[in-house]
Amino acid sequence: MRQSQLFTKTRKSAPKDEVAKNAQLLIRGGFIHKEMAGVYSYLPLGLRVLKNIENIIREEMNGIGGQEILMTALQDSEIWKTTGRWSDDVVDNWFKTKLTEDSELGLAHSHEEPLVRIMRGQVSSYRDFPRAVYQIQTKFRRELRAKSGILRGREFIMKDMYSFVRTQEELDEFHEKAAEAYMRIFARAGLGERTFRTFAAGGSFSKFSDEFQTLCDAGEDTLYLDRAKKLAVNREVYTDDVLSELRLKKSDMEEVKAIEVGNIFKLGTRFSQPLGLTYKDENGKDREVLMGCYGIGLGRLMGTIVEALSDEKGIVWPKEVAPFQAHLVAITGGNADVAAEADRMYELLREHNIEVLYDDRDIRAGEKFADAELIGIPVRLVISEKTLSQGGLEVSERSSGNATFVSDSDIVERLKN
């Protein structure tokens, strides 16, 4: 992509009503556009990041046996009434609407009920298990506090996976597979060293749920962390009894702030029982299906990366989620030979399938460098009169700021490695 042709431009400041750092930087960098509180559009750079996160998640979910589907956002109220979750007294974040014939629909905030209805027609025997299906889809929640940028939205993209098994042992086994896959996702997204499996309240589903929390001062959650064991306990369940059960010592725990980037629950028969999802075992007896659910908000993960890894100059994208592999910056100073060399290098990188944002704009060098720092692509390549005379490029890393000179003949191999 030539930056002169990019749909968006950078901004010196974010909207005055935007208080979250993630939204401020993403708006200034041209990644997102704020439509209203808790609702954002993803622009070309932002969509590229979102798709990279989506690809990481899809690979890891497929790797543990997940099969991807896509369910509807519009929800039939009747099935939710069966489980008691249609009432605003039970679930207070529904968006609902009435049709002209006075029937009522909702916009989905989760998908346990409709998926169980689908599965009733797909499984009947013990031979049909285990199964795990997931989707990456827009959800809607009537959040009262929508001041955290893309960390907490009213409309957001979520990966929600649901597992269906026969026994508690199978449920426990898949739960651990999912937990391991989640840690791989966060590692690939650049947050591995900052993200910890965290014990939290299981609500009506189970004694505990597993949250995955990324350490960050902007986080809404307070945790107690044992760094040596890489385990944390959410403040809501931080008691002596819980510590004893988890074999954790209060003297080893430190209080930290964190952002929840994922969670997994053992649902048991909470939804299969009222909705009649059963199978026949080896003896022909009807048994209730056990379920688990596993969620990650893609926008929330993207916002967390910005909150946790950005610096005073702008965003710092990890390589697997960055919108481009490299940012090629041409400092021509009116020199036609430098411009020609930058064009040649751009075409060379494209020929080798290296995704590059090429700053070919006719603006001052200082503006180009400031925009490159704000946008945060991991590797910056600079071509100038000085580098042209030396037969190469200046290559710098956004995360460290370290710069080296690389010859023309080595640049493709350097980037591919």
Q: How confident is the model at residue 206 (pLDDT cuts 50, 70, 90)?
A: confident
Residue 276, SS3 per DSSP: coil
What pLDDT score does 143 carry?
A: 86
pLDDT category at 305 given cuts 50, 70, 90 is very high
The pLDDT, as a whole number, for residue 57 is: 98
For the whole model, what pTM was predicted?
0.95
pLDDT given at position 191: 98
Between strands 326-330 and 379-383, the pairing is parallel
Rounded mean pLDDT of 60-78?
A: 97
Domain architecture of the chain: domains with CATH: 3-309 (3.30.930.10), 326-416 (3.40.50.800)
Look at residue 203 and tell me whether its pLDDT is greater than 90.
no
pLDDT in tens, 10-33: 999 988 889 999 999 999 999 999
Mean pLDDT of 71-76: 96
- If you average pLDDT over residues 163-186, what whole number do you get? 97
pLDDT for residue 404: 94
pLDDT at 100: 79
Arithmetic mean of pLDDT over the chain: 95
Size of the chain, expressed as the number of residues it contains = 417
* pLDDT of 205: 67
pLDDT category at 147 given cuts 50, 70, 90 is: confident
Q: What is the pLDDT of residues 353-362, one digit of tens each?
A: 999 999 999 9
Q: What is the average pLDDT across 166-172?
A: 97
pLDDT higher than 70, residue 196: yes
pLDDT of residue 129: 96
Q: Identify the band that residue 272 occupies on the pLDDT scale cut at 50, 70 and 90.
A: very high
